[in-house]
Amino acid sequence: MQISISGHHVDVTPAIRDYCNQKLEKLSRHHDRITSTNVILSVDKLIQKAEATVHVTGQDFFANSESENLYAAIDSLTDKLDRQLLKYKEKRSAHR
């Protein structure tokens, strides 16, 4: 799985990059066909934002989250993506 992390009005430090990689690697436990993940981290005054697009074979998933803390926004983002991937996986297995 390829993970690209970029920042908009924020410097992406190695600590933030490692934290994002660690959280997004957990998504591959639920779905093994994830090909790429694009994450955009941004700051708008006091609100930290995180957006991500996950490309699975044949499907794209998008999630965004906002928080006062960037790490909390990343946590919320991965939780949202995790729920979307689990729901997609259940739908695919139920239809077969």
Considering the segment(s) 2-95 as one domain, its CATH architecture is 2-Layer Sandwich (3.30)
Q: CA distances (Å), 15 to each of 36, 68, 91, in order?
A: 21, 18, 36
Q: Which long-range contacts (CB under 8 A, 24 or more apart) does 17-20 make?
A: 19/71, 19/74, 20/74
CB 67 within 8 A of CB 80: no
Region 8-24: mean pLDDT is 92
Predicted TM-score (pTM) of this structure = 0.88
The pLDDT of residue 19: 94
What confidence tens digit (pLDDT) does each residue in 22-75 have? 999 888 887 778 889 999 999 988 899 999 999 988 889 999 999 999 999 999
Alpha helices in the chain (DSSP H): 14-25, 70-95
- Every domain of the chain and the residues it spans: 2-95
